[in-house]
């Protein structure tokens, strides 16, 4: 499809929960995207801070010739439920999910759609993003094609790719049973379908913002189920596969972070599980990964990919 075709080929789905102070900046950054026709679907997830009322008042004003807007309401709690509500409403070939506190820089959607036009068989288009604290960039977060690198680096986070709507639906959409690391688990299911992936290795055009309320701020011991349920679900998906060793590594890393936060009662069973999930010959590597994180707090993903 040519970029001057007025039929939308992409839907951008944004779930919103209590983001009154941030959401309009995010939506304005999406509305400023030029050169493409696309649908913006905003799903309020039962906000109680006035976000929904703000969206009712302001969202329609963002619509323009290149972007239609729809506001949906989903009272059932959970970002995954809201994203699935948005996915159900999508009528376009491509779907992009975007968080309500992040920022698109000019040209992002055009770059992604241009790659889709150049690679007609592509099912996923991915690109790096920039982790940003609102004042300055912190670090570039890349996008990768392999299951191993995703398992260690969480490359398929929400903001880093768009995919064929049919592919999202084929894998069952977002897992509503997961309270956290849901994009990590979805990425595994997508990769298990062996999709045709195109990676745009250029300067990031998305800011993934880190702030006090952001999901990128981790306090592992506060709600262990957020991380453990996702890892346990992925372990079931990968049972019997070679990549299971990377799930063991992630469990060892999680256990080490529990220890760093002063919670050995959480660390001990998770570390024991990590050792059970790997072969006898891999246990020395898993122990090294655990102690590396426990002592330094970083470096384990690269280490795991080298030694496992």
Which pLDDT score, from 0 to 100, does residue 13 have?
A: 99
Which pLDDT score, from 0 to 100, does residue 4 have?
A: 53
275 burial level (CB within 10 Å; 0-12, 13-18, 19+): middle
Nearest to 69 by CA among 79, 59, 77: 59
Which pLDDT score, from 0 to 100, does residue 212 have?
A: 56
CB 126 within 8 A of CB 197: yes
Which pLDDT score, from 0 to 100, does residue 213 have?
A: 52
Which pLDDT score, from 0 to 100, does residue 217 have?
A: 46
**Each residue's pLDDT tens digit in the chain (308 positions)?**
444 567 899 999 999 999 999 999 999 999 999 999 999 999 999 999 999 999 999 999 999 999 999 999 999 989 999 999 999 999 999 999 999 999 999 999 999 999 999 999 999 999 999 998 777 888 999 999 999 999 999 999 999 999 999 999 999 999 999 999 999 999 999 999 999 999 999 999 999 987 655 444 458 888 899 999 999 999 999 999 999 999 999 999 999 999 999 999 999 999 999 999 999 999 999 999 999 999 999 889 999 999 99
d(CA 234, CA 298): 22
Nearest to 226 by CA among 161, 273, 181: 181
CB 116 within 8 A of CB 125: yes
Which pLDDT score, from 0 to 100, does residue 235 have?
A: 99
If you count them, how many residues does the chain have? 308
Q: Find the helix or strand (DSSP H, E) in which 103 lies.
A: strand 103-104
Which pLDDT score, from 0 to 100, does residue 222 have?
A: 86
Nearest to 10 by CA among 41, 51, 56, 42: 41
CB 160 within 8 A of CB 125: no
Q: Three-state SS for 138?
A: strand
pTM reported for the whole predicted model = 0.94
- What domains are defined for the chain? 10-209 (3.90.550.10), 224-307 (no CATH)
Q: Three-state SS for 251?
A: helix
Which pLDDT score, from 0 to 100, does residue 1 have?
A: 42
């Amino acid at each position: 499809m040519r970029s001057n075709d007025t039929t939308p080929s992409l839907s951008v789905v944004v779930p919103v929960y209590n983001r009154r102070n941030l959401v309009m900046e995010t939506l304005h950054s999406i509305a400023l995207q030029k050169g493409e026709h696309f649908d913006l679907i905003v799903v309020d997830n039962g906000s109680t801070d006035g976000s929904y009322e703000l969206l009712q008042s302001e969202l329609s004003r963002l619509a323009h010739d290149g972007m239609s807007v729809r506001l949906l309401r989903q009272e059932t709690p959970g970002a995954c439920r809201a994203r699935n509500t948005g996915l159900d409403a999508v009528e376009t070939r491509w779907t992009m999910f975007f968080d309500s506190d992040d920022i698109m820089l000019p040209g992002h959607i055009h770059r992604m759609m241009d790659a889709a036009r150049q690679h007609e068989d592509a099912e996923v288009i991915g690109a790096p993003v920039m982790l940003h604290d609102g004042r300055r960039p912190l670090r570039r977060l890349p996008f990768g094609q392999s299951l191993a690198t995703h398992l260690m680096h969480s490359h398929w986070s929400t903001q880093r790719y768009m995919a064929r709507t049919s592919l999202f639906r084929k894998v069952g959409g977002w897992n509503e049973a997961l309270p956290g690391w849901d994009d990590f688990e979805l990425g595994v299911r997508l990769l298990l379908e062996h999709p045709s992936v195109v990676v745009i290795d250029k300067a990031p055009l998305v800011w993934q913002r880190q702030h006090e309320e952001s999901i990128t701020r981790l306090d592992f011991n506060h709600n262990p189920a957020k991380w453990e349920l996702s890892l346990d679900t992925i372990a079931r998906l990968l049972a019997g596969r070679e990549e299971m060793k990377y799930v063991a590594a992630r469990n060892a890393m999680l256990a080490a972070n529990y220890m760093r936060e002063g919670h050995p009662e959480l660390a001990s069973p998770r570390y024991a599980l990590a050792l059970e999930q790997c072969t006898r010959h891999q246990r020395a590597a898993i122990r090294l990964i655990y102690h590396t994180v426990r002592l330094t707090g970083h470096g384990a993903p690269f280490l795991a990919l080298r030694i496992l």
